Amino acid sequence: MGKHKRQGISRRQGIVLFILLASFILLFSGRYLARQAASYLISTDVLEPADAIVVLGAYAPDRMMTAVDLYQQGYAPYIVLSMEERPSTIVFDKMAELSVVIPETHDISLSIATQRGLSPSAVLITETRANSTRMEARNLRPLLEQHQIRSIIAVTSKTHTKRTSRIFRQELGDDIRVIMQVSSYDEFNPEAWWQTRWQARSMLYEYLKLIDFIWISAIGTVEREE
């Protein structure tokens, strides 16, 4: 009776199978971790009526559209806008000299509100320009106190909510209640953000700013931008 040749996979085949299996695991665990990373940045509160709706600064018409929706649904009697710091005083001074007028972000937001039927008196705008989320929160306080606003619905982009909620609550303290809400028109998709360049860039940028926020909180200074 002849000997049966032992069957099995070769070493090379084993390596190939291992690589394929590892790649398969990394593919799906990587996607899971990517989804978790995006979800970590998104933080919202239960929506409740408030004294005002605050739209975080930046060119983001979707935020203003959401704020107008909330206003028209009766969640607050005011919408509050911030003035952004101009990136270059030289070019703006030159445009003023030549009588060149361009709309700023708060002008665009105000235009959205009025075109949707809101009275300009329903929109409050801070008088001081801000170049960071923290400065924006600080600049809001005098205006909120002037109008006896004790609770706000803060509307911003999805990936911006966690850091914004922390900064606003640090700066506004217990005197002003913050209800964080995402823009309902924000197209960021936490389930597949890595497939689109602008979404991947948004993720990277926000994590860099979150690290900066954690560092600033740890060393006890807020002189740098956030």
Q: The domain that contains 178 carries what CATH number?
A: 3.40.50.620
Same domain for 54 and 37, yes or no, is no
The pair of three-digit structure tokens given for residue 11, joined into one six-digit string: 């070493």
In a domain, 222, yes or no: no
pLDDT at 224: 43
Same domain for 137 and 91, yes or no, is yes
Residue 77 lies in domain? 44-186+196-217
Q: Coil, strand or helix: which one is 102? A: coil
DSSP codes, 88-107: -HHHHHHHHHTT-----HHH
Q: Coil, strand or helix: which one is 198? A: helix
In a domain, 59, yes or no: yes
Q: What is the mean pLDDT of each run of 10 residues along the chain (226 residues)?
A: 52 64 60 88 96 91 96 98 83 88 90 96 92 92 95 96 94 94 96 92 90 79 47
In a domain, 94, yes or no: yes
In a domain, 99, yes or no: yes
- Looking at residue 116, its amino acid is R
pLDDT at 17: 65
Same domain for 36 and 48, yes or no, is no
The pair of three-digit structure tokens given for residue 153, joined into one six-digit string: 């619905």
Same domain for 127 and 175, yes or no, is yes
In a domain, 115, yes or no: yes
pLDDT at 223: 46
Same domain for 70 and 156, yes or no, is yes
pLDDT at 185: 96
pLDDT at 127: 87
In a domain, 3, yes or no: no
The pair of three-digit structure tokens given for residue 75, joined into one six-digit string: 């969640």
Distance in angstroms (rounded) separating the CA atoms of residues 173 and 144: 13
- Looking at residue 61, its amino acid is P
In a domain, 226, yes or no: no
Same domain for 22 and 54, yes or no, is no
